[in-house]
Amino acid sequence: MNRVLRRFRSLPIRSRLALLVAAAVAFGVAAVSVTCWIIVQGKLYAEIDENLHATNTSLRQIDVSSVLNDCSQSPSADDRRGPQQNTVYSQLVKADGTACVFPLSAGTVKVSGVDRAVARDPRPGVERYRDGVDSDGSPVRVMTVPVIVENGPGSRGLVNDTALVVAVPVKDTEGTLNELALLLLLVSGIGVVGAGAAGLAVARAGLRPVDKLTEAVEHVARTEDLSIRIPVEQDSEDEIARLSHSFNSMTSSLASSRELQQQLIADAGHELRTPLTSLRTNIELLTRSEETGRPLPPADRKALLDSVKAQMTELAALIGDLQTLSRTDSGQHADRFTVIALHDTVEAALRRARLRGPELTITADVRPWYVRAEPAALERAVVNILDNAVKFSPEAGTIEVRLSEGVLTVRDHGPGIPADELPHVFDRFWRSPSARALPGSGLGLSIVARTVQQAGGEVALAPAEGGGTAATIRLPGASTPPPELP
């Protein structure tokens, strides 16, 4: 059985569907055919039994005592010429199994235990029907009843130790049933074969979208071409259409991811080229001065070294931002998400911001709020927001920070962001033309957006009323700590 199941599972899906459909139709046709045959058989035998009952009524007119006195084991050849034309078997059966054949009987029916039981215990109204054979072995339908005789006007009685057996041949009936069985078998076979062919055709038609999907997947695996799409009917909502929609969405997402990766590589290469070129130029100038034996003036040498140090710092910051952004993109820190106190993170970022802008006034209204996020990434995002506010604030300016009900607002009083530049502030490596002279990699706000989105929140920049920019971060959470926190 297990071997058959393994072989069945190894077949293609369309073959399995065709076999399952054929099996289901075969079961249904077989059930209908057997039921039909049983019903026809019951109807035919019911009709035969009615004829036997009518024949029993007509035989009551025969003198039973004469048949018993002249108990013949078989009818004579001369007696077989009668109105029944040798089609009805009639005989009396004694309790010991002795059969006395009626003169007009078509032959002798073999006595059975049913006949002897009715003869030993005759009861009014008892009719026993069975299948039997005559003396020649031909099949007959037999009815056995007690013998009833007329004792006088209006009076009847039972004859003890005697039963009346009436039978008719059923050879023609059995032939009809056999022909019907053969016909039903033939029709069933044709139905099963047709069902198998129809199942195979339906399977091919139903799996045609799957074939297209398979071809598309194989094409993508072979060529890495993510632009391929599977056509889907707009009004179709079946499983195949949903699978095709999912495949198209997956390839679109993969294509977008590849484009973002390529764009990130291109942008990173472009951003790295400028500091590396400047760094190489400065190092070559210092090396040439040492090789030629003509040292640079101390002031110029110090300026070059300061420039090299600044460029190294810029490169380190850029590489760190790229690593942070790649980790947030890959989601490899998702397993490090934990419940943290956002207000503590904001306080830590405020301390760093005050060190970077000691001449600025930073006011803070921070209320408790607990969120689920990756601690280091969230702190980096808050620091980036505050760094932007410090960077663009005028000297002796004011920065207003407020955290309430999960909404962190950082408002500066700087020059603000033009309306046409707002849609691009979270793009990677994008920098406002007015800010390109300031230090930075152009990845700070991208890191903020990615971190906040992974924590289930939202971030936005908008012009503040009265000038400046307002950065808003919304994070889901609660104002009370969960039970697992102390």
**Residue 163 φ/ψ, nearest 5 degrees:** -135, 150
Beta-bridge partner residues of 165:
91, 144
Domain extents in the chain: 1-59+171-225, 61-169, 239-327, 331-478
Q: How far apart are CA 459 and CA 322, in angstroms?
A: 20
Lowest mean pLDDT segment, chosen from 79-93, 237-251, 380-394: 79-93
The three-class DSSP label of residue 71 is coil
- Residue 429, amino acid: F
Name the more confident of 145 and 433.
145
Mean pLDDT computed over every residue of the chain: 79
Instruction: Answer yes or no: same fold for 239-327 and 331-478.
Output: no
Q: How far apart are CA 472 and CA 461, in angstroms?
A: 6
Does domain 61-169 bear CATH number 3.30.450? yes
Q: What burial letters (b/e) apply to 3-39, b meaning 16+ CB within 10 Å?
A: eeeeeeeeeeebeebbbebbeebbeebeeebeeebee
Query: What DSSP string describes 39-50?
Result: HHHHHHHHHHHH
The predicted model gives 69-82 an average pLDDT of: 62
Query: pLDDT-based confidence at 84, cuts 50/70/90?
Result: very low
pLDDT of 318 above 70: no
CA-to-CA dists, residue 358 to 260, 351, 397, 447, 471, angstroms: 38, 10, 11, 25, 21
Q: How far apart are CA 299 and CA 310, in angstroms?
A: 16
218's tokens: 């194989």
User: Residue 94's CB: how many other CB atoms inside 10 A?
Assistant: 18
Query: pLDDT-based confidence at 58, cuts 50/70/90?
Result: low
* 390-434 pLDDT tens trace: 888 888 888 999 999 989 999 998 888 877 777 777 776 656 655
* 18-47 pLDDT tens trace: 777 778 888 888 888 899 999 998 999 888
Look-up of token digits 């215990």: 121
**Residue 145 φ/ψ, nearest 5 degrees:** -135, 160
Name the more confident of 189 and 57.
189
Q: From the DSSP assignment, how many helices (H) and strands (E) are in the chain?
A: 10, 13
Q: Among the ranges 78-87, 141-150, 467-476, which has the highest mean pLDDT value?
A: 467-476
- Residue 1, amino acid: M
pLDDT at residue 279 in the model = 80
Q: Among the ranges 127-131, 234-238, 267-271, which has the highest mean pLDDT value?
A: 127-131
Q: Say which residues have a Cβ less than 8 Å from residue 276's Cβ, sequence separation at least 6.
A: 315
Query: pLDDT-based confidence at 475, cuts 50/70/90?
Result: very high
pLDDT at residue 239 in the model = 73
First to last CA, the chain: 61
277's tokens: 């070129």
- Helical packing angle, 298-330 and 375-392, nearest 10°: 130
Tell me the chain's radius of gyration from C-alpha atoms: 52
Find out whether 120 and 138 touch, Cβ atoms under 8 Å.
no
The three-class DSSP label of residue 224 is coil
* 323-358 pLDDT tens trace: 666 665 555 555 678 889 999 999 998 988 888 778
Look-up of token digits 């808003």: 472
Query: What DSSP string describes 292-319?
Result: HT-PPPHHHHHHHHHHHHHHHHHHHHHH
Q: Among the ranges 64-78, 259-273, 459-473, which has the highest mean pLDDT value?
A: 459-473
Taking the model in full, what pTM does it have?
0.46
28's tokens: 């249904």
Q: Among the ranges 6-10, 133-137, 428-432, 474-478, which has the highest mean pLDDT value?
A: 474-478
Find out whether 134 and 86 touch, Cβ atoms under 8 Å.
no
CA-to-CA dists, residue 474 to 312, 453, 458, 478, angstroms: 35, 10, 5, 12
The three-class DSSP label of residue 230 is coil
145's tokens: 């009843």
Q: How far apart are CA 43 and CA 216, in angstroms?
A: 61
CA-angle at 387, arms to 481 and 317, nearest 5°:
105
User: Residue 61's CB: how many other CB atoms inside 10 A?
Assistant: 7
The CATH homologous superfamily of the domain defined by 331-478: Histidine kinase-like ATPase, C-terminal domain (3.30.565.10)
- The percentage of the chain sitting over the pLDDT mark of 70, rounded to a whole number, equals 80
pLDDT at residue 411 in the model = 92
Lowest mean pLDDT segment, chosen from 115-124, 182-191, 348-357, 440-449: 440-449
Q: How far apart are CA 112 and CA 91, in angstroms?
A: 13
pLDDT at residue 473 in the model = 92
- The percentage of the chain sitting over the pLDDT mark of 90, rounded to a whole number, equals 10
Q: Which CATH architecture has domain 239-327?
A: Orthogonal Bundle (1.10)
Q: Say which residues have a Cβ less than 8 Å from residue 386's Cβ, sequence separation at least 6.
A: 349, 350, 352, 353, 399, 401, 410
161's tokens: 């130790």
Handedness of CA 211, 212, 213, 219 (dihedral sign): positive
pLDDT of 322 above 80: no
Lowest mean pLDDT segment, chosen from 3-17, 138-152, 403-417, 449-463: 3-17
Beta-bridge partner residues of 398:
361
Q: How far apart are CA 297 and CA 300, in angstroms?
A: 5
Query: pLDDT-based confidence at 81, cuts 50/70/90?
Result: very low
pLDDT of 83 above 50: no
426's tokens: 């979270």
Lowest mean pLDDT segment, chosen from 3-17, 165-179, 279-293, 362-376: 3-17
Lowest mean pLDDT segment, chosen from 132-136, 463-467, 468-472: 463-467
Beta strands 99-101 and 89-94, pairing class: antiparallel
Find out whether 144 and 93 touch, Cβ atoms under 8 Å.
yes
Query: pLDDT-based confidence at 82, cuts 50/70/90?
Result: very low
